[in-house]
Amino acid sequence: MATLVEKTLEQRVRGFVEVENLSVSFKRKGQSVHVLESVNFKIEPGEFICLLGPSGCGKSTILNVIAGFIQPSSGFVFVDKRHVDSPSADRGFVFQQYSLLPWKTTYQNVEFGLKIRGVPKAKRSELVNYYLNRVGLFKHRHSYPHQLSGGMQQRASIIRALVNSPSVLLMDEPFAALDAQTRHMMQELLLTIWSDLKTTVIFVTHDIEEALFLSDKIFVMGVNPGRIKEKIDVTLDRPRHADGLLSPEFISLNRQVFELIREETLKSMDMD
Amino acid sequence: MSTSSKRSLKASPLAKVNTTIAHCFKALSRRDRSASNQQKLNAQVFRRILSLVLFFGIWQLLCLNRFNFFINFENVPSPIEVAQATVQFVTGNPMKHIQASAIRVLSGFTIAAVLGISLGILIGWFKKIEDFIFLPLELLRPIPAVAWIPLAILMFPTSESGMIYLTFIGAFFPILISTIRGVESTDLLLLRVGQCLGAKQWHIFKDIVVPGAMPNIASGLVIGMGNSWFCLVTAEILAGRYGVGYITWESYVTSNYPPIVMGMLLIGLMGAASAYAVDRLTCLLMPWRITKKKSA
Ligand SMILES: Nc1ncnc2c1ncn2[C@@H]1O[C@H](COP(=O)(O)OP(=O)(O)OP(=O)(O)O)[C@@H](O)[C@H]1O
Ligand SMILES: [Mg+2]
């Protein structure tokens, strides 16, 4: 019985992301505004990347392009060598807003992607229940979203994406609306799940500690126009724990990133 | 407090007595609170009953005094006369009238619901279909049921179908418009959720757009049901030998005034009851919303 779960966990050579010369501009009051200008990066399968930057620098926009929600004005996104032009289940998305379907129970929400793909019922329930147990939602499987706390809803959203075993998991400030305590729990939970699955993760945040705690690399973004300003390797040992936040290495990285962000934030305020 | 009492319960028999006492106090204070609530409730019920007594009393007085200043009460039946007419109606053969009306309203409403919801979903979801049929419908929408009477006579083979058509007209447009609104207001976020779970048009439509529109559709159905009853009198003026609206109109024509008011009240009552029934039924279809009401 467990073989199915194991199998879906194993098949992990996917999740290679290439972003080439990506530019995005929006029309605003008849003028086109450059939101992103020639963004370039490559992400290896299984890497955990954080996009970090001040508000409005285009973090969500990058994620939306990779998801296929919006089309770039120029440049390309490839996931596993395939050109991205529309959304699909191999790029899971976790939104900042609570986004479970209100008319489906927790179980049905998580099951939805598998059902669409026509996975047989027995397989579905095995996978869904495995993930529900994994994030402690099994006893809430028959609850509707409005009966769940914010943290529970985000946990459900995460496994709703993961159950489809996507190549990449895109997360847009998924914990921003949670209180500090819950946020820490969620970060640790995410890391344990990720260390099993080794899905490529692109995680947007503007919280430096969150980025350092979670990621292998941080892409620090600059504003006007939005671009990747610096790529920082986070060399902290894994598995990481909350007390690691006090290590000298962490503190020096924190200071380094803080200075970078501060520059950009000042710049964005001047321009506005 | 409750956890500490539970712990002491295990500790000693004396503690047991203590908790019993505590429970008594709690129950007492609860009864106190509910007693004052009860008083408030009683006062409210009293005021409401008084309002009814005043309403019927003033009406009766106006009729007794044959009040005639701009508004003429000379021919308005008094509450007592209406009550007598009601007794007469009920002891006669009320069911054949009520049944005839209910069948007309239900048929008109059902057709309106089926057509209104399906057209509304198509118009709301497919831009091209909207282009093709929305304007003609907009043109027909403001026409009141009464204005349809002559055409209804000319168009329909039997007076029964004409009458059903008029109750249909009343329900159709509210249902159509709320369905369109519901479909059009689909949340972009939830559409994106569906897309990146691999949903194509059909699943997006079935699992996201339609359930999202259901609350709107439900309110359209409730309003539509009410409107169907509004249009009933109009419809039964057309023809018919039975029906609540028919009694109302017929009594006017034959100068037998008390049943007019009885008919009006009856229609109001049946309209309210069936709108309530539709409301409950649609709530049953949306368990995710009922529970929300309870918890709030
Ligand atoms: N649909 C749109 N039309 C016009 N401008 C847009 C649109 N979406 C985003 N923008 C602009 O693009 C810029 C980047 O937006 P984006 O949402 O990617 O920023 P962000 O880095 O995610 O910010 P935040 O941290 O506040 O979420 C902003 O200046 C925003 O106003
Ligand atoms: Mg954003």
Q: Does pTM top 0.90 for this prediction? A: no
Nearest CB neighbour to B189, from listed A99, A103, A113 = A99
pLDDT band at A8 (very low <50, low <70, confident <90, very high): low
A56 lines ligand 1 (CB under 6 A): yes
This model of the complex carries an ipTM of: 0.91
pLDDT of residue B41: 86
Average the pLDDT over each of A13-22, A178-187, B5-14, B182-191 and give the range with the smallest value.
Answer: B5-14
Considering only residues A11 and A18, tell me which one the structure prediction assigns the higher pLDDT: A18
Ligand 1, residues A26, A70, A261: which to mutate, most atoms within 8 A of Cβ? A26
Instruction: For residue B222, give both structure tokens.
Output: 């409730």
Strands (E), chain A: 17-28, 31-43, 48-52, 74-79, 82-83, 91-94, 168-172, 200-205, 217-222, 227-233
Nearest-CA residue for ligand 1 atom 23 is A56
- Please give the domain boundaries of chain A with CATH numbers for all domains: 2-271 (3.40.50.300)
A59 lines ligand 1 (CB under 6 A): yes
**What is the phi/psi pair of residue A79, to 5°?**
-120, 120
The ligand 1 atom nearest the CA atom of A58: 18
Nearest C-alpha neighbor of B106 from the set B248, B268, B254, B270: B270
Considering only residues A3 and A252, tell me which one the structure prediction assigns the higher pLDDT: A252
B-chain residues near A91 (CB < 8 A): 196
Nearest-CA residue for ligand 1 atom 29 is A56
CA A198 vs. chain centroid, Å, equals 13
Question: Distance, CA B210 to ligand 2 centroid (Å)?
Answer: 29
d(CA B188, CA B209): 10
pLDDT of residue B200: 92
pLDDT of residue B26: 55
Select the residue from B187, B196, B208, B284 to test the A interface by mutation, using most A Cβ atoms within 10 A: B196
* CATH number of this structure's domain B81-295, picked from the four choices 3.40.50.150, 1.10.3720.10, 3.50.30.10, 3.40.720.10: 1.10.3720.10
pLDDT of residue B93: 87
pLDDT of residue A29: 85
Nearest C-alpha neighbor of B163 from the set B250, B111, B243, B236: B236
pLDDT of residue B292: 46
Chain A residue at shortest CA distance from B213 = A103
pLDDT of residue A10: 52
Give per-residue pLDDT as tens, A246-272: 889 999 999 999 999 988 888 877 754
Rg of chain B, C-alpha, whole Å: 28
pLDDT of residue A265: 85
One digit per residue, pLDDT tens: chain B, 296 residues? 344 444 444 444 444 545 555 554 455 555 556 677 888 888 889 999 999 999 999 999 999 888 888 888 888 899 999 999 999 998 988 899 999 999 999 999 999 999 999 999 999 999 888 889 889 999 999 998 889 988 988 999 998 999 999 999 999 999 999 999 999 999 999 999 999 999 999 999 999 999 999 999 999 999 999 999 989 888 887 777 889 888 888 888 898 889 999 998 999 899 999 999 999 999 998 988 864 444 44
User: Following DSSP, what letter does each residue of chain B receive, concatenated?
Assistant: -HHHHHHHHHH-HHHHHHHHHHHHHHHHHHHHHHHHHHHHHHHHHHHHHHHHHHHHHHHHHHHHTT-EESEE-TTSPPHHHHHHHHHHHHHS-HHHHHHHHHHHHHHHHHHHHHHHHHHHHHHHH-HHHHHHHHHHHHHHTT--GGGGHHHHHHH-SSHHHHHHHHHHHHHHHHHHHHHHHHHHT--HHHHHHHHTTT--HHHIIIIIIHHHHHHHHHHHHHHHHHHHHHHHHHHHHHS-S-SHHHHHHHHHHTT--HHHHHHHHHHHHHHHHHHHHHHHHHHHH-HHHHHHHHH-
Nearest-CA residue for ligand 1 atom 22 is A60
d(CA B287, CA B70): 53
**Bridge pairing between strands A217-222 and A227-233:** antiparallel
Considering only residues B287 and A173, tell me which one the structure prediction assigns the higher pLDDT: A173
Region A175-202: mean pLDDT is 93
- So where are chain B's domains? 15-76, 81-295
Nearest-CA residue for ligand 1 atom 30 is A56
**Bridge pairing between strands A82-83 and A17-28:** unpaired
pLDDT band at A213 (very low <50, low <70, confident <90, very high): very high
pLDDT of residue A271: 54
Region A197-207: mean pLDDT is 94
pLDDT of residue A1: 47
Region A116-129: mean pLDDT is 95
Region A86-108: mean pLDDT is 95
Count residue pairs from A and B with Cβ separation < 8 A: 68
Region A122-127: mean pLDDT is 96
Give the 3-state secondary structure of residue A89: coil
pLDDT of residue A9: 53
d(CA A203, CA A94): 9
